[in-house]
Amino acid sequence: VMNVITIEDYKSTYWPKLDSAIDQLLTQSPGDYIPISYEQIYSCVYKCVCQQHSEQMYSDLIKKITNHLERVSKELQASPPDLYIERFNVALGQYMGALQSIVPLFIYMNKFYIETKLNRDLKDDLIKLFTEHVAEKHIYNLMPLLLEAQSTPFQITPSTMANIVKGLYTLRPEWVQMAPALFSKFIPNILPPAVESELQEYAAEDQKLQRELIENGFTRGDQSRKRAGEELTHNGSSACANSRGYR
């Protein structure tokens, strides 16, 4: 028979263990060894679900990860333009890597609370958090830099460009409309088949978008990030119902 876990037990003993493990998973670098017992964390989650603490645990998890992502966004905000793309790529890769461990650890909460009570999925919810708290806040600053990097050989590696473009498409497929020619280089079948006479037109569209973004204040300096943030705040956050899982 399982011992009763009171809300005080949960707050003083069980959640601190989960909190510490999540911290390590969110901040690890690829290839790092994380000294946590996955079995212990998995068991901890299982016990809390059985003792009806799922709602509190889900709330704590979302709050914990939201706070982390807000810090990540602020650090990106302070990045100089020449490091901005690479740092966004690291933040995206690190977070998606962390989800590969975090989601399985909370599988019981997902199955018996999020899927059954909320009709949602934990992985989708956590990807949506990155979209809302990081990607949406940086897309208008990131896109002109990606277009500029695309037209400047060796500025960033092809793998970095591919990771970011594919990642943005996964987070919000409609962002393709901001730079169809760029996305089409990494995402198959998003453009109609091009005939040779249209290739120059695609190149011209890229240049036109760069000019429009710059004219709207999205230049490379710090001011651009401030204005991009203000623009998003002014427009309100977009619905994320179409966010897809990072599969």
Position 45 in a domain: yes
Position 224 in a domain: no
Identify the pLDDT of residue 143.
Answer: 93
Q: What angle do CA 40, 46, 47 make, to 5 degrees?
A: 90
Position 223 in a domain: no
Q: What angle do CA 34, 36, 40 make, to 5 degrees?
A: 155
**pLDDT of 230 strictly over 60:** no
Here the contacts of 112-119 (C-beta below 8 Å, separation 24 or greater) are 112/49, 112/54, 113/49, 113/54, 113/55, 113/58, 114/58, 117/54, 117/55
Identify the pLDDT of residue 166.
Answer: 95
Position 238 in a domain: no
Neighbouring residues of 245: CB distance < 8 A, sequence distance ≥ 6: 121, 123, 124, 127, 170
Identify the pLDDT of residue 77.
Answer: 94
Position 227 in a domain: no
Identify the pLDDT of residue 198.
Answer: 64
CB 116 within 8 Å of CB 207: no
Identify the pLDDT of residue 115.
Answer: 97
Residue type, position 115, single letter:
E
CB 70 within 8 Å of CB 133: yes
Look at 183 and 204; give whichever has higher pLDDT.
Answer: 183
Q: What angle do CA 121, 123, 129 make, to 5 degrees?
A: 105
CB atoms within 10 A of CB 29: 9
Q: pLDDT digits over 75-129, tens only? A: 999 999 889 999 999 999 999 999 999 999 999 999 999 999 999 999 999 999 9
Range of the domain at 57: 7-191
Position 228 in a domain: no
Rounded mean pLDDT of the chain? 84
- Model's pTM, two decimal places? 0.75
**pLDDT of 145 strictly over 80:** yes
Identify the pLDDT of residue 203.
Answer: 73
CATH value at residue 31 = 1.20.1310.10
**How many domains in the chain?**
1
Look at 107 and 224; give whichever has higher pLDDT.
Answer: 107
Distances (CA, A) of 215 to 151, 204, 205, 208, 212: 19, 16, 15, 10, 5
Position 245 in a domain: no
Identify the pLDDT of residue 236.
Answer: 39
Q: pLDDT digits over 24-40, tens only? A: 999 987 667 777 888 99
| Averaged pLDDT for residues 68-72 | 97
Q: Which of 54, 120, 66, 58 is nearest to 95 (CA)?
A: 66
Position 202 in a domain: no
Distances (CA, A) of 191 to 135, 136, 182: 23, 23, 11
